[in-house]
Structure 1
Amino acid sequence: MCIALFLWQAHPLYPFFLLHNRDEYFSRPTEPVAWWDNGDILGGRDGLAGGTWLACSRNCKIAFVTNVREVAKGPQPKSRGDLPVRYLESKMNPTEFAEEVVMEAHQYSGFNLILVDLCSKSMIYVTNRPKDDKALVSEVPPGIHILSNASLDTPWPKAVLLRSNFEKFLEKYGAGELPAEDMADKLMRDTTKADKTTPPGVYSVEFEYLLSSIFVEANTEQGCYGTRSISALSVKTNGEVSFYEKYLKESWKEHKVSYIMEQTGTS
């Protein structure tokens, strides 16, 4: 489970601004945000399957994925974390890669995938669990968007709360610089729970209740589960990228990586 709020082509200083929580079992091996072996991909890495939930590249690309809340069934499917990596390693633009993913979408459990190319100002949303017979692939319009474990911009209570609190920050800072680290701390560590009658009802009422906050903390029969990393990823109009991460590894740690995107044209 994860939740992401992002601002796309709707701010004079930031063509892209993202706040993101990754929720996972604490026992699952995970590597914090770092440059990968080839030095072209920056992101966290799942130590079990090898993929990522959120990463970016030197050449204008960003990708992140969330699962769709559903009860698992059937044989072990392909890892959804491979999808962002494949996009970032490819020479395809978001639309081209989305078309490739659709051809194999049935091989994965439910997912939501965001593909970004800053150079061409393109953002595409891909899902294999479309809501109300909508398209599997769609272009994301400029504005504020929320992605959790249902379709893009589904108004789950915690999504509505996060958007509302984010908008208050925007009102305060206007067209100026946004305090990304402060926003991550204040907005993404919110433990406010939804009313027990409002969650989607995929899991038990008690587990749904524990998952209904932006920042998740839960004890389950499989072990501790909850938010393991909080990220703020921003791209300025001059191509400056800042990737801040606060992550849990025995205790909470934090670090930040900055670089300039290579704006050499569309990919």
Structure 2
Amino acid sequence: MCIAAFIWQAHPLYPLLLLQNRDEYHNRPTKPVAWWDVDGCEILGGRDEVAGGTWLACSRQGRVACLTNVLELHHLPKAKTRGDLPILFLKSTKSPMEFAQQLITDAHQYKGFNLILADIPSKSMVYASNRPKGDDINIQQVSPGLHVLSNANLDSPCPKALRLRKSFKQMLNKYGNNEVMVKEMVEKLMEDKVKADKSKLPGICALEWEFELSSIFVETDTPLVKFRSKFIERKKQC
């Protein structure tokens, strides 16, 4: 599970200010944030060493892609790697909307995903999701302002998304139009381990597992391995 909060085209200093936690098993090999080359396109981001994709990255051209998965019970066998989607967008010259529309034909071949596609120079951002399953791909232009993306639709009112939205807004109000102290913001917002009220959880999977995943920063032991959040921040252009 993952969660991201961002402010888009609504701050005098930052066209995009984005914070994201990636929740993953600790034994899954991952490369830290660095520049890497993909077919001649320089990309800055972390990289999953199992499937080769990424969950958050940007290019030198000011394009940004952010990915979260969708919480669901059933998995798609032999699915394409969701982590390839940000890379494909960053390599592409298509606008965010054009790229999202291009996904219509094969979106069903991926497990559930939420995808943010942004081109900072053109001030264009699009949200795309292939869930609910069986429906046409959900594509929408993202309006300027504060948004939160978790494991449901963009700005869905799930407990931890609402909690992060409130905290993020308070921090932005604290700094006003001045430079944001990112380290402080990350520590106060993205390391929040407070869990939600069980009665407010969506009931998609086992209650105890949903409860363990209900904090902004997830840290829990499974029978096999530790499951924990890792956080990343991006500000301004790459």
- Report the TM-score range of the alignment, normalised by the length of the smaller protein: over 0.9
> Cα deviation per residue 1:8-32 (whole Å; 9 max; x = unaligned)?
0111111100010000111111001
> Cα deviation per residue 1:187-214 (whole Å; 9 max; x = unaligned)?
1000000011111112211111110000
User: Which letter does structure 2 place at the counterpart of 1:9?
Assistant: Q
Corresponding residue of 1:13 = 13
> Cα deviation per residue 1:78-135 (whole Å; 9 max; x = unaligned)?
110000000001111101111111211000011000000001100000000149x786
Correspondence for 2:90 among 88, 91, 96? 88
Corresponding residue of 1:233 = 234
Corresponding residue of 1:3 = 3
Corresponding residue of 2:80 = 78
In 2, Cα distance between equivalents of 1:39 and 1:32: 18
Structure 2: unaligned runs, 5 residues or longer: none
Corresponding residue of 1:255 = none
3-state SS of the aligned residue for 2:198?
coil
- Give the stretch that moved more between structures: 169-178 or 140-149: 169-178
Correspondence for 1:171 among 167, 170, 173? 173
> Cα deviation per residue 1:204-260 (whole Å; 9 max; x = unaligned)?
111111100000011113421121x2111011xxx5x4xxxxxxxxxxxxxxxxxxx
Corresponding residue of 1:63 = 65
Runs of 4+ in 1 over 3 A off after TM superposition: none
User: What is the CA-CA distance between 1:6 and the residue it aligns to?
Assistant: 0.4
In 1, Cα distance between equivalents of 2:167 and 2:228: 21
Whether contact under 8 Å (2:41, 2:91) holds in the other structure is no
Change (3 A) 1:68 1:60: same
User: Which letter does structure 2 place at the counterpart of 1:218?
Assistant: T
Change (3 A) 1:58 1:74: closer
Structure 1: unaligned runs, 5 residues or longer: 242-267
3-state SS of the aligned residue for 2:193?
coil
In 2, Cα distance between equivalents of 1:182 and 1:34: 22
Aligned length: 235
Q: Within the alignment, does 1:30 sit opposite 2:30 as a pair?
A: yes
Whether contact under 8 Å (2:5, 2:19) holds in the other structure is yes
Correspondence for 2:140 among 138, 141, 163? 138
TM-score computed with the length of structure 1 as normaliser: 0.85
In 1, Cα distance between equivalents of 2:154 and 2:22: 16
CA RMSD of aligned residues (A): 1.5
Q: Within the alignment, does 1:97 sit opposite 2:99 as a pair?
A: yes
3-state SS of the aligned residue for 2:66?
strand
